[in-house]
Structure 1
Amino acid sequence: MTITIRLAQKTDVLPIARLHFHTWRETYRGLAPQTAYDEVTEEVRLARWQSMLSNAESERIVMVAEAERQMAGFGAAGPASDDIFQGRAEVKFLYVAAAFNRKGVGRNLLLHLARHMMEAGYNGVGLGVVVGNDPAIAFYERMGGERAGSYTDPGPVWRSQNYLYVWDDLPALMAQERKSNH
């Protein structure tokens, strides 16, 4: 299976919003409170992504992964939203459609986002993962992420407890990209 990673375009708004909505609901079933499920509709996701992808001044980069002629995942990274990141870039979103789990999509997205953040001058990247999201925790640990603390993400509708995972040696992380391409 060939995975293509590219910068998101305004025409990707609807596919990203749909993937985000459905994947979020699957991932956080049993972790997020019912009020979050009730408030975070597909329309809410669509409005948020329309705003993000129309903001040309944003320092955040949004990338999509395509495989088998469909959107397989997306990710976004940029300046950190919380002081706990201590000057690292933040991978704010990294979602993979269930049909593409464990096929290299998340790995490729994470590596591309990290490379872009390194090129933007960051020495490290970090991300928050909701406590209890064991598949994501296992993935980030396989990718060499180190747990560096925890924090409460204020979120728009849910104050989730998160672990902070960091990569402070971006060249070593990029070496994984070279290994996976050979």
Structure 2
Amino acid sequence: MSITIRLAQKVDALPIARLHYLTWRETYRALAPQTAYDLMTEEARLARWQSMLSHAESERIIVVVEAEGQLAGFGAAGPASHEIYQDRAEIKFLYVGTVFKRMGIGRKLLLHLARCMMEAGYNGIGLGVVIGNDPAIAFYEKLGGEKVGSYTDPGPVWRSQNYLYVWDDLPAFLAQERKSILNDKRDSLP
């Protein structure tokens, strides 16, 4: 499968919003309060993504992942939005579409964002995971994420309780990417 990761552009707002809406509803149906679930419409997501992609912040990176020409996921990283992150960068969004899960896309996306944040001068990264989102927790722990605390994310419509997962040695974490690429190349040989 051909996978590419590239910087998001303004024209990506609608596909990102649609994927964000669908994936969020599936992931948080049993976790989010009904009011938040009802307010997080595709239109609300579209307005937010149009705004974020129109007002690019020099310190935040937003990328999309395409698999065989289809939007498979997206991610964003930059300066932390909560003091619990300390001097780490924050992975603010990391979403993979349902049909593309378990294909290594999430791993590649996380590693790509980590590399971008290291190149921006950060030594570590962190991300918040809603308590109860067990598949995501298992995924981050499998990739070596260390749970170092918890906090309340004020969010736009829902104050969610989150665990903070961190990777404080980005060179070691990124060594996984090099190993992964070599393994992927070896596995694709006839």
Q: TM-score range by the shorter chain?
A: over 0.9
Between the aligned partners of 1:92 and 1:6, the Cα distance in structure 2 is 17
Between the aligned partners of 1:37 and 1:58, the Cα distance in structure 2 is 31
Deviations 1:91-143 (A, max 9, x none): 00000000000101100110010000000000100000000000000000011
Does 1:95 pair with 2:92? no
Between the aligned partners of 1:42 and 1:136, the Cα distance in structure 2 is 22
SS in 1 for 2:50: helix
SS in 1 for 2:45: helix
Question: Which residue identity lines up with residue 148 of structure 1 in the other structure?
Answer: V
Residue matched to 1:13: 13
Does 1:123 pair with 2:129? no
Between the aligned partners of 2:104 and 2:56, the Cα distance in structure 1 is 29
Question: Which residue identity lines up with residue 116 of structure 1 in the other structure?
Answer: C
Does 1:80 pair with 2:85? no
Give structure 2 stretches of 5+ with no counterpart: 183-190
Does 1:143 pair with 2:143? yes
Deviations 1:48-96 (A, max 9, x none): 0001001134421001100021000000000000000011000000000
Does 1:39 pair with 2:39? yes
Deviations 1:147-177 (A, max 9, x none): 0100000001000000000000000110111
Q: How does 1:148-163 map to 2 (within 5 A)?
A: 148-163=148-163
Residue matched to 2:188: none
SS in 1 for 2:4: strand
TM-score (norm 2): 0.94
Residue 37 of structure 1 deviates from its aligned partner by: 1.1
Residue matched to 1:171: 171
Residue 2 of structure 1 deviates from its aligned partner by: 1.8
Between the aligned partners of 1:10 and 1:118, the Cα distance in structure 2 is 25
Question: Which residue identity lines up with residue 174 of structure 1 in the other structure?
Answer: L
Between the aligned partners of 2:2 and 2:137, the Cα distance in structure 1 is 25
In the comparison of the two structures, how many residue pairs are matched?
A: 182
CA RMSD in angstroms comes to 0.7
Q: Which contiguous aligned blocks of 4+ residues in structure 1 show a shift greater than 6 angstroms?
A: none
